[in-house]
Amino acid sequence: MPIVKFTADRSVDIAVPQQPVPIQHYLRQPHRVISALVDSSRVRQTSDDEFCLMM
């Protein structure tokens, strides 16, 4: 069976209230951002900054 690769981009607007830790620290950790957007049982991390969403 041939392997098929799809790539997609999606913009998401999220309201972020002021917190003691700046949002930049959070955004430097891609796995935390992905975990906030998608159920962790549907995501597999393939590299430091690349994730696979299982449909």
Section 23-36 average pLDDT: 86
Question: Does residue 41 surpass a pLDDT of 90?
Answer: yes
Residue 42: predicted pLDDT: 92
What pLDDT does 43 receive? 92
Q: What is the mean pLDDT of residues 42-53?
A: 89
Q: Across the chain, what does the average pLDDT equal?
A: 85
For 44, phi then psi, to 5°, come to -125, 130
Tell me which residue of 3, 1, 6 sits closest to 52, measured CA to CA. 6
